[in-house]
Structure 1
Amino acid sequence: MKIVVQVKLMPEAEQAAALRSTLRTVNDLACWVSQVAFARGVPREYELRRHTYLHLKAVGLGAQAAQHVIKKVRDVYTTLHANLRAGHLGRPKSRRRVKAESKPIVFRPEAAQPYDDRCLSWQYDQQTVSIWTMAGRIKNVSFVCAADTLKTLRDYRKGESDLIERDGVFYLIATCDVPEAEQYEPDGFIGVDLGIVNIATTSTGYQAAGRGPGRYRKRQLTLRAKLQKKRTKSAKRRLKERSRREQRHVKNTNHIIAKTIVTEAERTSAGISLEELKGIRQRVRLRKPQRVTLHSWAFAQLGDFIVYKARRAGVPLVYVDPAYTSQTCCECQHIDKRNRVDRGLFICRGCGVVAHADRNASHNIARKGEAVWTAGRESRVPATP
């Protein structure tokens, strides 16, 4: 299983200047390669290399750095075409799609630059790296990270690492190939109902309320609007300081929720049953005031966190269809739209059971998870006559 870990570089003044100059240069050249690719109809990587490699070498890039710049450009066009085919940028001839197709892709000056083991070497005991720059290879660049991050790097780092600059600070994002734990046979399943008012509700009784994150998001939105309205230098400085703060807060909250769910499943030798919510933003129609809330809902990130933590712990995990889970009684399986009295109350029209709506849905998801797990284990080979 591949995960990424991030370390913070602590370069001296001359080292920082070399790193900054290198990022600016390689991203300027990536913009030039992008223009060449766009003008030639985005050829395959080998053909694109034939048109650009000699020029990149002539302006001072090393062989490996030139290869990485070309591959980086080809990869972003591959991603763009995949998004176009999937319809993520709108229908053909829509304004957003035409804008994406009508001009070359541009790289930010501080965008990530990949490094392989020929351009970057790690010294874990000294917590330093040796890295290629336009000014030559610089050594003894210090980095800092948590103790478990250093252990993960030492034991499992494999493949490329990305150098990025964020708000004047340099980071290395390294890929680690961590072995998965062996899956055990689950003794039942924990259903997880995802929502906005309650971020996650499990069939075991755990409930992560969304009231706190909702208030925090609203407070950040109000503060950003006030600062943007002022248009002063100090307001712009404050906006820059606060950038990504909400994103980090949501990410930390999702990590805590995911760890709680996976730890409970591991402790009770249970599996985890998650809703398959892909495409929900395209399926659901909401009024304008509700759209911000829906599009700020980081359910995909929470689901990804639960998945990778479960794989590392060896916890079985299945996805189920969420259809009718909020309208079905977990006791008698009676389905009726009127069973859902309001957002938080469920009263079955069949047997009269009263329950919290999210808790009832989580039990239905757990039941579906058991059915999916059992169906996956059943043999499809015809019986021998």
Structure 2
Amino acid sequence: MRIVVQVKLLPSPEEAAALEATLHAANDAANWLSSQAQSRACDRDRTRMALQSLAYAELKARGWSAQPALHVIRKVADAYSTRKANLKAGNHGAKDTGRYRRIAGAPIRFRHDAAHPYDDRCLSWQIDTQTVSIWTTAGRIRNIRFVCSPGALRLIGESRKGESDLLHRDGAWFLIAGCEVSATPVNRRPSGWIGVDLGVNNIVTTSDEGEAFAGEALNKYRRRQIRIRAELQARGTKSAKRKLRKSARREARHAANINHIISKRIVAEAERTGRGIGLEDLTGIRERVRLRKPQRAALHSWAFAQLTAFIQYKAERAGVPFVRVDPAYTSQMCSWCGHTEKANRATQQLFVCRSCGVVAHADHNAARNVEARAKYVWAAVSQPHAADASGVPAASLALQGRAVDRQNTSIREISRVS
């Protein structure tokens, strides 16, 4: 499996100036080539080979060496491939919308300080001295120091493979290295599952007695950050804008740290008990839900996709089974009897089943539903020819999981078996 490791460079002022000039020159060249690529007739004219035949000689004439010129070409070609895939998937709207036409009809632009890739011909690592040698437009610079954690240093020394990206952010220089690590073989016979419910009041609640992570304390921090930003924006002075810039990534760093802590605890518990992890598939949740303005701010201020990615890659490294389940009606379905009704959700935190009368924390009930569905999805994936009590193949039921009545039947059958 592939993971990335970030290290911080400590260049001198002269070295930093050379790195900055190189980054600006690379992105200026990428913007020029992007304009040329946009004017091409069709998508096949924007592939790496087509752009290389178009621009390689021009980039060499501009003073670029062979390998850095190829990196500029690949960077632009990959950007257009990504845009093509997003347009095809409908991520920018339908073809007849203004947004689709605006994005498809404009050349891709690269910021002056956008990250730029390097391979082993342009960048070499000296692990023992913690220095790097890197190509710049002013020549090759050697012995630039870098700092990182001992674990990151070990990963770079043992598992680094492929390209590394040079990044300038908040006045600091970073290298982001790709590493190939061997994943632990997945436990194909988990002893059970940990259902994970994602929410706003409690970022994460598990099916283990409703254990909640990052609840009120984190919400207080988020509300405080929103209030501080609003006050600084309303003030509008130079010092206020300076403080806004200084704290721009503070909440993002805090969120990443909390997400790492949460994901590590969940995966460690699953590995210790030999269980798998079931997580709600919240892809596109921001576009699907309709919320009032205060709730909207709370929903958009947390990196749920990042938390999901952290749990998934940590689970893969530990050999813990990981599945995503359909989140539909998990908050309305009783995890004890399977009765589904909107009125079951009495309040934000209270779940009261109108059929069997069970009373539970709403997030804990949802996590139990996720746990049950994870068992069912895993059975459908690992035993595609197995059939449930009704004789219907499990894989077929999993694919048709959006049918609520069939979902309820499946969950009740699992509850009786387990």
Q: One fold, TM greater than 0.5? A: yes
Partner of 2:412: none
State yes or no: 1:140 paired with 2:140. no
One-letter amino acid matched to 2:248: S
Q: Distance in 2 between matches of 1:167 and 1:375?
A: 47
After TM superposition, give the deviation of residue 289 of structure 1 in Å. Answer: 3.5
- Alpha-carbon contact 2:31-2:109 (below 8 Å) kept: yes
Partner of 2:21: 21
Distance 1:9 1:36, change over 3 A: same
SS in 2 for 1:40: coil
Q: Distance in 2 between matches of 1:201 and 1:16?
A: 45
Q: Distance in 2 between matches of 1:252 and 1:46?
A: 41
State yes or no: 1:217 paired with 2:212. no
The match for 1:196 among 196, 200, 214 is 200
State yes or no: 1:66 paired with 2:69. yes
State yes or no: 1:114 paired with 2:117. yes
Partner of 1:35: 35
State which drifts further: 340-349 or 207-216. 207-216
Partner of 2:311: 306
CA offsets per residue over residues 198-238 of structure 1, 9 Å max, x none? 11111113211433333222222222232233333322221
State which drifts further: 40-49 or 344-353. 40-49
Matched-pair identity in %: 55
User: Can you give the 5+ residue segments of structure 1 that lack an aligned partner in the other structure?
Assistant: none
State which drifts further: 139-148 or 318-327. 318-327
User: Structure 1 runs of 4+ off > 6 angstroms?
Assistant: none
Partner of 2:278: 273
Q: Distance in 1 between matches of 2:215 and 2:78?
A: 37
SS in 1 for 2:356: coil
- Alpha-carbon contact 2:335-2:369 (below 8 Å) kept: yes
State yes or no: 1:183 paired with 2:186. yes
Partner of 2:297: 292
Distance 1:371 1:101, change over 3 A: closer
Q: Distance in 2 between matches of 1:277 and 1:252?
A: 21
Q: Distance in 1 between matches of 2:214 and 2:254?
A: 15
Q: Distance in 1 between matches of 2:324 and 2:173?
A: 38
- Alpha-carbon contact 2:2-2:180 (below 8 Å) kept: yes
Partner of 1:4: 4
- Alpha-carbon contact 2:133-2:142 (below 8 Å) kept: yes
- Alpha-carbon contact 1:213-1:250 (below 8 Å) kept: no
User: What is the correspondence of 1:1-385 to structure 2 with a 5 Å cutoff?
Assistant: 1-41=1-41, 43=45, 44-184=47-187, 185-205=189-209, 206-378=211-383, 380=385
State which drifts further: 1-10 or 38-47. 38-47
Q: Distance in 2 between matches of 1:211 and 1:36?
A: 52
Q: Distance in 2 between matches of 1:329 and 1:229?
A: 46
State which drifts further: 316-325 or 59-68. 316-325
Q: Distance in 2 between matches of 1:4 and 1:77?
A: 23
User: Can you give the 5+ residue segments of structure 2 that lack an aligned partner in the other structure?
Assistant: 388-418
State which drifts further: 27-36 or 272-281. 272-281
Q: Distance in 2 between matches of 1:97 and 1:292?
A: 26
Q: Distance in 2 between matches of 1:84 and 1:214?
A: 36
TM-score by length of 1: 0.94
Q: Distance in 2 between matches of 1:38 and 1:294?
A: 36
CA offsets per residue over residues 112-170 of structure 1, 9 Å max, x none? 11000111110000000111111111111110101000001111100000001112211
Partner of 2:403: none
SS in 1 for 2:241: helix
One-letter amino acid matched to 1:192: V
- Alpha-carbon contact 1:119-1:131 (below 8 Å) kept: yes
State which drifts further: 364-373 or 137-146. 364-373
Q: Distance in 2 between matches of 1:372 and 1:225?
A: 44
Distance 1:228 1:340, change over 3 A: closer
Distance 1:11 1:319, change over 3 A: same
Q: Distance in 1 between matches of 2:303 and 2:206?
A: 18
- Alpha-carbon contact 2:255-2:302 (below 8 Å) kept: no
SS in 2 for 1:373: helix
One-letter amino acid matched to 1:334: H
Partner of 2:404: none
State which drifts further: 209-218 or 151-160. 209-218
Note the aligned Cα RMSD (angstroms).
1.8
After TM superposition, give the deviation of residue 93 of structure 1 in Å. Answer: 4.5
After TM superposition, give the deviation of residue 98 of structure 1 in Å. Answer: 3.4
State which drifts further: 111-120 or 221-230. 221-230
After TM superposition, give the deviation of residue 379 of structure 1 in Å. Answer: 5.6
After TM superposition, give the deviation of residue 38 of structure 1 in Å. Answer: 1.0
Distance 1:54 1:290, change over 3 A: same
SS in 2 for 1:88: coil
State which drifts further: 72-81 or 37-46. 37-46
How many positions carry a matched residue from both structures?
A: 382
One-letter amino acid matched to 2:341: D
Distance 1:28 1:204, change over 3 A: same
Q: Distance in 1 between matches of 2:366 and 2:263?
A: 19
SS in 1 for 2:128: coil
SS in 2 for 1:285: coil
TM-score by length of 2: 0.87
- Alpha-carbon contact 2:380-2:386 (below 8 Å) kept: no
- Alpha-carbon contact 1:201-1:362 (below 8 Å) kept: yes
